[in-house]
Amino acid sequence: MSSLKRTISTRTTRLTARASPYNSGVTLFESDVDSSASPRRSKRIKVETKVEEVMDTKSLPNAAASGSQKPTSKRTANKSPRKAKPVQQALEVPHPAPERWRETYNTIKQMRSRITAPVDTMGCDQAQFKETDPKSRRFATLISLMLSSQTKDEVTDAAVSKLRAALGGSLTVDRLIAADDAVIAEAIGKVGFWRRKTEYIKKAAQRLRDDFDSDVPKTVDELCSLPGVGPKMAFLTLHVAWNLNVGIGVDVHVHRITNRLGWHKPPTKNPEETRLNLQSWLPTELHREINHMLVGFGQVICLPVGPRCDQCELSTNGLCPSVQKPSKSKSRKAVILASATSSSESLPKIEVEIEAEESKSILYTMPSPSSPGIKREEAW
Residues taking part in catalysis: 232
In the chain, the amino acid numbered 332 is: R
Name every residue whose Cβ is closer than 8 Å to that of residue 187 and which is 6 or more positions away in sequence: 159, 162, 163, 165, 166
Query: Residue 250, SS3?
Result: coil
Q: Are 124 and 145 in contact (CB under 8 A)?
A: yes
- Cα pseudo-dihedral 55, 61, 63, 66, rounded to 10: 170
- For the chain, where are the alpha helices, taking DSSP H only? 60-66, 101-112, 118-122, 134-148, 153-166, 173-178, 181-187, 194-211, 220-224, 231-241, 252-260, 271-281, 289-300, 313-316
Cβ atoms within 10 Å of 345's Cβ, excluding its own: 7
Cα gap 177→180, rounded to integer Å: 8
**Structural Rg of the chain based on CA atoms:** 37
Half-sphere exposure for 237 (CA within 13 Å, toward CB)? 30
Q: Taking a C-beta distance cutoff of 8 angstroms, is the pair 170, 160 a contact?
A: no
How many Å apart are CA 97 and CA 277, to the nearest integer?
9
Q: Give the CA distances from residue 220 to residues 84, 234, 278, 321, in Å, rounded to whole numbers and listed in that order.
A: 12, 5, 17, 34
- What is the side-by-side order of every strand in the sheet holding 351-353? 351-353, 334-339, 361-366
- How far apart are alpha carbons 219 and 286 in whole angstroms? 20
> What amino acid is encoded at 368 in this protein?
S
**Under 8 Å between Cβ of 99 and 90:** no
Q: How far, in Å, CA of 294 to CA of 117, rounded?
A: 10
Helices and strands in the chain: count of H runs, count of E runs:
14, 5
